[in-house]
Structure 1
Amino acid sequence: MRQKITDIKSLEETARQFRKEILEMIAEAGSGHPGGSLSAVEILISLYYYKMNHRPENPKWPVRDRFIMSKGHASPVLYVTLANCGYFPKEELMTFRKLGSRLQGHVHIGVPGVELSTGSLGQGLSVANGIALGAKIRKVDFRIYCLLGDGE
């Protein structure tokens, strides 16, 4: 389960473990995009374990901070982060890209903690902007973060 990370040593140890889990799930699946996931590990750890206000036990909490993974092909890093935070059981990571699994090659909204199905590059930033504007209009206090890839 998630504990706040406030020092570099803990960040490095957590990042090392996340990278191992990402590589294991991609190897088990026999396909995936390791580069995009491995390059985003520290970013997601910093957000989910330090910066973001969220509740894994209540993924639809109305004032939660939101995260949009625009580069949806980097789904393994988001799935590993969400599982380690407690959004779903870590054992489910080994079902990545298997028939009938909710953990597919691109981020899917059917997974607890996922805000948007992504994979069509360039969509995430526009959606994140719309969510932020909607929150401002409704005077709801939360932050939204969006991670883009180099192809966007």
Structure 2
Amino acid sequence: MKIEDLQKEAKTLRKDIIEMIYRAKSGHPGGSLSIADILAVLYWKEMNIDPKNPKMENRDRLVLSKGHAAPALYAALIEKGFLGDEGKNLIPTLRKWHSPLQGHPDMKKLSGVEMSTGSLGQGLSAANGMALSAKIYNNDFRVYTILGDGELQEGQVWEAAMTAAHYKLDNLV
């Protein structure tokens, strides 16, 4: 995929993010918009995923540790096709009662969400567990995690980073 194509995908993600947050009249636009380019590259170029088979055993995983940036993840899942034909219709439902697009990702309510997040500082530890499991069971997948700048001050994040180094989790990004 060309850079221009990835830029186009990121622009579409940004439009979806803005529409979601505007219609919800709440959310975190900065944290969501800041990862649009990263998600475009991951979902359209790097990650081994299949929206038609979201539980594929050797799929790559993404843990959005900064769960308040959920609109960005939702936009990527919608545009990539994880939510089927109804995906675009969900955009106006962010943070609405009974919507699967809540303020933080919930893996029980939405296809393609690998980890329910919200409490800052815990995502890297969960990603470590996924990456270590892949090593133990000789699975060939990568685990990507996106952390926010504020949560990097959490002690658990630094302990998780040291754990990743200790176990040589070269399948963790």
TM-score higher than 0.5: yes
Q: Deviations over 1:56-87 (max 9, x none)?
A: 01111111000000000000000000000000
Q: Percent identity?
A: 55
Q: Out of 96, 103, 106, which is 2:104 matched to?
A: 106
* Structure-1 residue corresponding to 2:26: 31
Matched, 1:60 2:60: no
Q: What is the aligned residue count? A: 147
Q: In 2, Cα distance between the equivalents of 1:54 and 1:14?
A: 17
Q: In 2, Cα distance between the equivalents of 1:131 and 1:14?
A: 28
Matched, 1:69 2:67: no
> Per the alignment, in what secondary structure is the counterpart of residue 106 of structure 1?
coil
* Structure-2 residue corresponding to 1:44: 39
Q: In 2, Cα distance between the equivalents of 1:8 and 1:138?
A: 35
* Structure 2 counterpart of 1:106, one-letter code: H
- Distance apart, 1:39 and its partner CA: 0.4
RMSD between superposed Cα atoms in Å: 0.8
- Distance apart, 1:47 and its partner CA: 0.4
Q: Segments of 4+ in structure 1 off by > 2 A?
A: none
- Distance apart, 1:23 and its partner CA: 0.5
> Per the alignment, in what secondary structure is the counterpart of residue 135 of structure 2?
helix
- Segments of 5+ residues of structure 1 without an aligned counterpart are 1-5
- Distance apart, 1:13 and its partner CA: 1.8
Q: In 1, Cα distance between the equivalents of 2:67 and 2:53?
A: 23
* Structure-2 residue corresponding to 1:3: none
Q: Which has the higher contact order (CA 8 A, sep 6+)?
A: 1
Q: In 2, Cα distance between the equivalents of 1:48 and 1:8?
A: 14
Larger relative helix fraction: 2
TM-score, normalising length from structure 2? 0.83
> Per the alignment, in what secondary structure is the counterpart of residue 22 of structure 2?
helix
Q: In 2, Cα distance between the equivalents of 1:10 and 1:133?
A: 33
> Per the alignment, in what secondary structure is the counterpart of residue 67 of structure 1?
strand
Q: In 1, Cα distance between the equivalents of 2:8 and 2:25?
A: 26
* Structure-2 residue corresponding to 1:92: 90
Matched, 1:126 2:125: yes
* Structure-2 residue corresponding to 1:140: 139
- Distance apart, 1:18 and its partner CA: 1.3
